[in-house]
Structure 1
Amino acid sequence: MSPELEKCPRSVLVCEKSNFLNEKSRHDIHVSKHNFNYKISVLIPECAILPANIARVINNFSPYYFVRDFPVYELLQDQIYETVVNKGNVYALSYNTRIDEDNTIALLSSGQLVLSLDKDTYEQLGLEGRPSLYNHRKAMRYIVTLDLRDKTLAPGTKRYQRVLSSLKDRLPLRYDFLFTQHNTGADEDGTLYQLLSQYKPVKHQPVLSSHTLTNVPCPTLYPSDLKGATLSCDPHSFLEWLGAVNLDINCENAADSFLSTFVCPEPQSCVSQALLCNVTGFISPEDVYLLLQELRQYFDEPKFTPWLSLTVHGYMDSPVSWGATEHGFLKGGENFYNFVCFKNQDYWLHMATGAQDGCPP
């Protein structure tokens, strides 16, 4: 085996156990801080058809818009700026920009505009920033964070004019972007679409796909047992199994198979059927939370399975992971989280990042 493949990059996995009804539960905070989500996977053992109420929530996810060659300075202009600052729930992410090679831009619902820039771009813009946490010996990337809700960045102030001049006149950065705004009733008339209309936005809806798995070996999970009843059922083993199921990788680990060594953690049982549902697109944290709330109600009526799983994947090339915490790429760029929801409203939460990320909150 290649020495490069034998090296296992450092990763961070934070695990929590709580109950959704616990007043100190932070599940809503964790969901809200994971700003940029491109895929949701739901696994429900002993289920063959996606329940209508869950399908309805997914079908009502907010649309998102793809805009080509969008000038970054437009985010500080007139109505877009006002919408970001006053209404919130607006997310934007530069598309097809690589966090380890290109300039990447992100707008958070908190009103923070994050620019991850190479050294040349940073020096040309002349904006105040800091070296990236993941530079090598010399600083080659810089992070500029602009809080659009800061009074010193209000239109008409000297700082606002300086920032606008840098992005519009000194170095007019333009990129393809993804935009979304959580539907709260205010955007049902196409407000965000109208704001972007001069750049001919293309509207998309998150795509839902589901299929039924048969004769699936599943771990036997208990709410009180976050670390597993045996050493083979620790969080890493569970997530590896879950990933293999999502990718349709055989977990039997047959003696004559050299393709996969993934196995279902013990103790386990074989379920006759399981529903695997995937949603892909530019998905807001608010929509993820609505889906989580609906999944919690799945157990309101008696079910054969005592648990179900929700996995949310973040964009590999987003400049942030949780909140405004800087995200790096290195080898995989992974940043995701997983809820295991139990019928008694207990849950496990796994939050995972790669080597170039801070510890999840």
Structure 2
Amino acid sequence: MVSIAHKIKQKALELGYEKCGIISVEKLGGYKEKLEERIQKIPESGGFYQGQQRLVKFQEEFPWAKSVVVLAVPYCGYHIPKVVRGHIAKKYLLDTRIDENTKEYQNSTALEKYMNELGVKTATNRKFGVVGLRWAAMQAGLGLVRRNNFFYTESGSYVNIEAFLTDRDMELIDTTELPPCPQNCDRCIKACPTASLCEAYTMNPLKCVSFLTTFGGRDLTKDPLAAKLGDWIYGCDVCQDVCPMNHQKWIGNEEFPGLAELSDTLTVEHILRMDEQYYKERIQPKFFYLAPDELWKWQINALNYIDNVYEDKYRTLVLEACSSAYPKVRDMANTISQKHGLL
């Protein structure tokens, strides 16, 4: 007789997941220790990781949880339009967590429905995870974490991890034969634009380009790291793209729903001239790390891009931004104008 655990895994693979493993909640115990270790290495990151405490204490909200179904699905099959390539991180362009138009989101809801039909109670958090996802994926045998802190399967690091808590005692550990990072390889560390990745398996999240262009970076005109963000507007792919274990992993031959059309509005020109209604209706729901009232943050990032790669063709955009309704956008535009002699 096929066990419920095996039925769940079989269904997951049928739906297109690359990996599926199931572990007891007890196997998540080591996550707290790893979290504390990160804070000890970078003490100033304590506040940043405070929000992760909910992943340590998940049983307070879900006392019935007995096991975790952990899954990995690659996103390296999608094409990235040239206009946003190297400016907006692939993970965010191809975010399937809440986009109901994607097959990945639909497969996720289908798998949860299937488990419920089997009589299994489930809980998940598609946006931010219900448990420590990378740690859970390691314990479930789906792959490993490399020196750049990203989780890898046979598809490289371009994978999304999902997890469902269940009320069943189940365990079905997957296996992987992935080799460790090449001896003495430090390409990711050397390539990190802001030295956020300061040593193997260690990073300062407060210096990360992805943090500074999403949650942080509220005053880039005074931040010495702003110049090191280069031409990144939202997120960063550098440490993944230089990794030799990701070599030739990106396939990029499939169109992601709605991305081609949306990408044309994510150039610096369109961002700086974007109105709030369009931002709230089309941009913010997809790039939800910024709030509905934070169009100004996108525009700050776009201005920082212009400052870092300045050409005379951007002159009009900067001067227009000097009259922005957003004070911080005006301040940054004026700073750029003075720096490049536009006034």
Q: Structure 2 length as normaliser, TM-score?
A: 0.22
Q: Structure 1 length as normaliser, TM-score?
A: 0.22
Name the structure where strand makes up a greater proportion of residues: 1
Name the structure where helix makes up a greater proportion of residues: 2
